[in-house]
Amino acid sequence: MAPLNGAVVPPKKKRIGVMTSGGDSQGMNGVVRSVVRMAIHMGCEAYAVYEGYDGLVQGGDLIKQMHWDDVRGFLSRGGTLIGTKRCMEFYERPGRVKAAKNMIERGMDALIICGGDGSLTGADKFRSEWPGLLEELVKTGELKQEQIEPYQHLNICGLVGSIDNDMSGTDATIGCYSSLERICEMVDAVFDTAASHKRGFVIEVMGRHCGWLALMASIATGADYVFIPEKPPGVGWEEEMCDIVTSHRSWGKRRTIIIISEGAQDTELKKITADQVVNVLTEKLNLDTRKTVLGHIQRGGLPSYFDRWLSTLQGVEAVNAILDATPETKTPVITIRENKIERSDLQECVALTKSVAEAIKQKDFAKAMKLRDVEFKEYFDSYKLTTSTDNTALRLPEGKRMRIAIIHVGAPAGGMNPATRAAVAYCRSRGHTPIAIHNGFPGLQRHHDDKPLGSVRECQWIDVDPWVNEGGSELGTNRGLPSEDMDKTAYCFELYKFDALFLIGGFEAFTAASEIRKSRDKYPSFKIPLVVLPATVSNNVPGTEYSLGSDTCLNTLIGFCDAIRQSASASRRRVFVVETQGGKSGYLATMAGLSIGALAVYIPEEGINIHMLARDIEFLRESFQHDRGASRAGKIILRNELASDTYTTQAVADMIKEEARGRFESRAAVPGHYQQGGKPSPMDRIRALRMAIKCMQFLEETFAGKSQDEINSDPRNAVVIGVQGSEVVFNPMGGDDGLEATQTDWKLRRPKNEFWRPLKGTVDVLSGRPTDLDCCGECGKLLVSSGGLPKAVSASRPITPMPQRPHEPQGPSIGDRLTAVVSRS
């Protein structure tokens, strides 16, 4: 019908569907929430397809429009709230024809599918058959030609949701880190009983044909032996395993932990079972051994910080990808490499994943390891190194061996101990001498020739092996700096003949390395290589986007927020103003805000002003007014501890209470040092191993056997290891273009260009907070990823870059803030 009075008929809004499929995984709800809200933010309509492909095939009530409030509270829930189901019909063409018909009849322009490799294989098949499916629908008279006309290209985007981390092309799948956390909790829990009775435990974990969960759990818990399908033990594995266990016991270890993947097999593809392993240990070593099968516990529980973060940002990126798509665009799957969220080619990733399975079937295990991911092999080799430190085959010649001092500097952070343990393991197996400096620089400076305090000690493997899951700092750490007694510090460097210094810590570690570096002319003993491994909950060290301990802290913080939010469910209408740590960096507050769906986040970079508070209080009033009871939980505002001198946490809570005029309540909550967490998170543990070993390799490859002059003239003689975008790199500290001169805000103790700043806009958009967006400005799209810094020495794998996104953000973009991305070799 023609429009009356010449009125313009608004164009139909784009309809974007979201679906979860296959095995459920923690974080799937985060995807649904961010896709729904981002789609609405971009002026589209959002639809949920319930029960996976079954919903698409059956249609009807299983496809529902979703509104902003329908996804409230989703972020912190495990499993999938829109359901998932194995759908046999979709395996067959007639099922896919029905699915295509439903999509067109419901006017769905695009579909975002979150699932494992099976679901994405199905999606890929659906995409490739699409024109044929439409043709068939017209031919059979089910749809008319004009009905299919607007839907010539299937616009789909994949997100990998799986606990197994079995998809090639991405470092992590949504759910894998939460699952790893469950496993580590369980293994940590059997530690004590195993040690008490000197028992052995064989623990079977999930993962289907992928050994990621088993390998990472072994690294994170210091298991004695691991069985994974990609790297099966050869014939005679029984003997190898027993030798390793016997050797560990001979060092004084009281417990034995063996982790076995459910897909474990030998090189002849013969299944190895947990019972078999138990029998070998019992019969050959007379070890009292028990079996524990973790089963579905591994899928359960709340999503970890990382899975909330990943699902939120990948959901946003999936909507961006759908809106950018043209008929020529390859179907994307959203992936992550290190810290960078990217779009990859779905077809390529599915093919690569299949080739791993094929390589295993062909018994080409070297190929399977390589195809899985270069990092995977690196992790495996590093893990092996920690289980066989007495293997003399890896020793370097005498002239290349170094005396490497290890020191912790600054506040304790999760991962300091596992990093030290890994560095000691590496040193021991290569013939270097690892030397622990206890109690930081003050420990060194208290040295007296006639009364040595023993703060400098050579490390034995058995001393550090139990540190694998210990929080805090076993070496002792504090904020003392070399400058507090430079002469004594230099004297001790000379006395103990350090060839290199490995500093683990936050901004103080960076400052300490800088002080030593700058004093080399005066003190020749400082002419040794220095490597800083960032470890701080604040994640404010220049040269990296990730610091050890930050994941542990964020996990603790979101657990705290979940709990207090829950506490409000009885009283309703309560706002909590939670104070986070972080010093002058708003990283913690922003990332926590992204992962819990905070209503507002106050950070030092932006400060707090009266207009902001007034606007947020108004927003609170409105949201309580429209609260349809979808979620009874309280609301959270996060305030960094130094966001404002005037508007303290209590002051903000009081102002809200006053202005609410009895319509809602507010409370201040300060978790304080609780945020530093107990045991390090599995991510901090495994990254500690990887980063520490990379640091040791860097020292060895760059400086072993070099003269003092050669070291002194090398710009890499003081570096920070860091994650930058999709790479792990070593950034030189000195020089005109080094970190100290170009990237450090010494006064505010944070990097000049904070990579995460554009993500602040995403927190606001997804909570619906009225604010100025930190997006490209032109189209409302949000930024989800970061770039990198220049002049870094790559420490990472070669990666084939996928095509760049067509939509390159304009305005205050990350690209302007950070200089060119380090090109991938």
Catalog residues that contact ligand ADP under the rule CB under 6 A.
21-23, 53, 86-87, 90-91, 115-119, 121-122, 125, 162
Annotated binding site for beta-D-fructose 2,6-bisphosphate: 479, 536-540, 574, 581-583, 641, 667, 673-676, 749
Terminal-to-terminal C-alpha distance of the chain: 59
Of the pair 160, 620, the CB lying nearest ligand ADP is at 160
Q: Which two tokens stand for residue 5?
A: 């009075």
3-class secondary-structure state, position 218: helix
The nearest distance, CB 274 to ligand ADP, in angstroms, is 23
Of the pair 350, 577, the CB lying nearest ligand ADP is at 350
Of the pair 52, 534, the CB lying nearest ligand ADP is at 52
Annotated binding site for substrate: 162-164, 199, 206-208, 262, 290, 296-299
Helices (H), 388-460: 416-430, 440-445
The H-or-E segment that residue 721 falls in is strand 718-724
Catalytic residue of the set 124, 164, 166, 499: 164
Of the pair 116, 480, the CB lying nearest ligand ADP is at 116
Helices (H), 545-648: 550-567, 587-596, 610-625
Q: Which two tokens stand for residue 253?
A: 């270890």
Contacts of residue 326, defined as CB under 8 A and 6 or more positions apart, other chains included, come to 806
Q: Which residue is listed with tokens 């390998």?
A: 215
Of the pair 15, 127, the CB lying nearest ligand ADP is at 127
Residues in the chain: 825
Q: CA-based Rg of the chain, rounded to a whole angstrom?
A: 28
Is residue 178 within 8 A of residue 303, CB to CB? The reply is: yes
Going by C-alpha positions, the residue among 377, 469, 457 that lies closest to residue 422 is 469
Distance (Å) of CA 811 to CA 162, 774, 808: 36, 9, 10
3-class secondary-structure state, position 409: strand
Distance CA 16, CA 321 (A): 12
Which amino acid appears at position 651 of this protein?
A
Distance CA 234, CA 718 (A): 42
Annotated binding site for ATP: 23, 86-87, 116-119
Considering only the C-alpha atoms of the chain, give the largest distance between any 2 of them, rounded to a whole number of Å: 100
**164 part of the active site:** yes
Distance CA 274, CA 290 (A): 10
Is residue 480 within 8 A of residue 442, CB to CB? The reply is: yes
The nearest distance, CB 208 to ligand ADP, in angstroms, is 8
Distance CA 549, CA 537 (A): 5
Distance (Å) of CA 341 to CA 310, 610, 757, 783: 9, 35, 15, 10
Active site residues: 164
